[in-house]
């Protein structure tokens, strides 16, 4: 039923198109033409204008041919963490790698191509199905911005699946933690480092004192924290007047998350005070976590489809965010399906042909199972 040659060609074509966040227009245009040429209803929203990017979220619809079945969606994102201009794809033992000095971009083209192939295969086979949507987003890698800009609730979908996490295929993420980001600006006082350093207040030293007090890394099974970016100073002969740094914390438990964030803020303030500096601190909740109960239709249908294909993997939880966080926040039950992409966000990223096929098979089976179910 699946057209494997078309699936592999589509994956290769998608990977070959450069699509960093907010610059996905070429890839969106390609996908729009491809979907329209294959008979789906296709349109874009206005996410690009709202986000300051050059591309919109792309939505495609396969209209129902079976009354009463749930309306479902599959989702993946266009953007990659690094530019892929000049990408050369290499196939080794039926596994795709980047031969060039770029990442492959399997995150998330290894989710997108199987989702598209599954919908086209069901359409061509004229199997019974409810409304099936493809919701293909932009700007996921910089904070799920495309998904938050997407008015998915207007589609009237009952639930959906985001194809955007690592293996094994056939597993589902049903519980995800919450993430907060913290920005700190420590202000000292400039002075000539050789002539009169005692007249200055070293902002880098003050920031370092605060960071040294923090609990970071894996704090327990449910909570992590990190200081990830730092920038400050102007020259070695100037006592630095300012230093900015960015931190994050994630947790399955909101009380623990709030406590960790307050701890990190307090450490910054204490470090600044220790050296006579000041600190300006802001925090932002990047996304809320979710916990979809096993008895919900979106989980039950996914598990039945996986079982029908011989996949027998437990449900998973993670602290990693995805577009599912945004869709759940908008009231649309969504879980994340495991894909075959490995070593993501690195230049060793790769995905096996078999996993692309298995994910497409799983998506087809989800459509089949959902077509036999009543709307929740």
The whole domain housing 275 covers 178-287
Give the pLDDT mean for 313-337.
94
Q: Are residues 165 and 221 in the same domain?
A: no
| Distance between CA atoms of residues 301 and 335, nearest Å | 11
The pLDDT of residue 214 is above 90:
yes
Q: Are residues 211 and 281 in the same domain?
A: yes
- Residue 9 included in any domain: yes
Position 320 scores a pLDDT of 87
Position 38 scores a pLDDT of 97
Give the pLDDT mean for 183-209.
97
- Residue 344 included in any domain: yes
Q: How confident is the model at residue 371 (pLDDT cuts 50, 70, 90)?
A: very high
Q: Are residues 159 and 211 in the same domain?
A: no
The pLDDT of residue 64 is above 90:
yes
Give the pair of three-digit tokens for residue 176.
Answer: 């995800």
| Distance between CA atoms of residues 14 and 77, nearest Å | 11
Q: Are residues 137 and 198 in the same domain?
A: no
Read off the pLDDT of residues 254-289 as tens digits, 9 standing for 90 and up: 999 999 999 999 999 999 999 999 999 999 999 999
State the total domains in the chain: 2
Give the pLDDT mean for 313-328.
92
Q: Are residues 63 and 15 in the same domain?
A: yes
Give the pLDDT mean for 121-134.
96
Position 285 scores a pLDDT of 94
Q: Are residues 307 and 362 in the same domain?
A: yes
Nearest-CA neighbor of 73 among 132, 141, 136? 132
Nearest-CA neighbor of 28 among 61, 57, 68? 57
One DSSP character per residue, 220-247 reads ETTEEEEEEEEEE-S-TTB---EEEEEE
Active site residues: 79, 140
- Residue 235 included in any domain: yes
Q: Are residues 309 and 349 in the same domain?
A: yes
The pLDDT of residue 109 is above 90:
yes
Write the burial class of residue 273 (CB in 10 Å: 0-12 exposed, 13-18 middle, 19+ buried). Answer: middle
Q: How confident is the model at residue 376 (pLDDT cuts 50, 70, 90)?
A: confident
Q: Which of 287, 315, 344 is the last residue of a domain?
A: 287
Instruction: Assign residue 263 the CATH number of its domain.
Output: 3.30.70.360
Read off the pLDDT of residues 144-156 as tens digits, 9 standing for 90 and up: 999 999 999 999 9
Q: Are residues 191 and 84 in the same domain?
A: no
Q: Look up the pTM and report it.
A: 0.90
């Amino acid at each position: 039923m699946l057209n494997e040659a078309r699936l592999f060609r589509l994956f290769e074509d998608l990977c070959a198109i450069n699509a960093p966040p907010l610059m996905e227009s070429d890839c969106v245009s390609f996908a729009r033409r491809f979907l329209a040429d294959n008979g789906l209803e296709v349109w874009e929203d206005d996410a690009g204008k709202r986000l300051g990017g050059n591309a919109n979220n792309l939505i495609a619809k396969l209209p129902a041919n079976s009354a009463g079945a749930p309306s479902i969606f599959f989702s993946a994102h266009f953007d990659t963490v690094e530019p892929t201009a000049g990408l050369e794809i290499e196939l080794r033992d039926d596994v795709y790698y980047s031969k060039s000095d770029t990442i492959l971009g399997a995150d998330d083209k290894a989710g997108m191509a199987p989702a598209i192939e599954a919908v086209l295969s069901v359409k061509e086979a004229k199997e019974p199905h409810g409304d099936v949507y493809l919701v293909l987003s932009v700007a996921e890698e910089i904070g799920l911005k495309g998904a938050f800009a997407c008015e998915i609730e207007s589609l009237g979908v009952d639930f959906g699946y985001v194809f955007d996490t690592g293996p094994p295929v056939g597993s589902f993420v049903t519980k995800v933690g919450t993430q907060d980001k913290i920005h700190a600006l420590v202000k000292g006082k400039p002075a000539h480092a050789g002539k009169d350093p005692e007249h200055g207040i070293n902002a880098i030293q003050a920031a370092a004192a605060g960071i040294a007090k923090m609990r970071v890394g894996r704090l327990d099974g449910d909570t992590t924290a990190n200081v990830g970016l730092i920038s400050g100073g102007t020259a070695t002969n100037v006592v630095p007047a300012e230093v900015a740094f960015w931190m994050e914390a994630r947790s399955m438990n909101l009380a623990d998350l709030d406590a960790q964030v307050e701890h990190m803020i307090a450490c910054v303030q204490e470090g600044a005070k220790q050296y006579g500096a000041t600190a300006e601190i802001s925090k932002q909740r990047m996304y809320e976590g979710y916990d979809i109960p096993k008895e919900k239709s979106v989980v039950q249908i996914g598990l039945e489809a996986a079982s029908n294909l011989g996949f027998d993997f437990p449900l998973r939880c993670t602290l990693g965010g995805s577009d599912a966080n945004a869709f759940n926040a908008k009231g649309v039950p969504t879980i994340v399906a495991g894909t075959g992409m490995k070593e993501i966000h690195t230049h060793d990223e790769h995905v096996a042909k078999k996993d692309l096929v298995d994910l497409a098979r799983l998506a087809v089976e989800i459509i089949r199972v959902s077509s036999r179910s009543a709307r929740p």
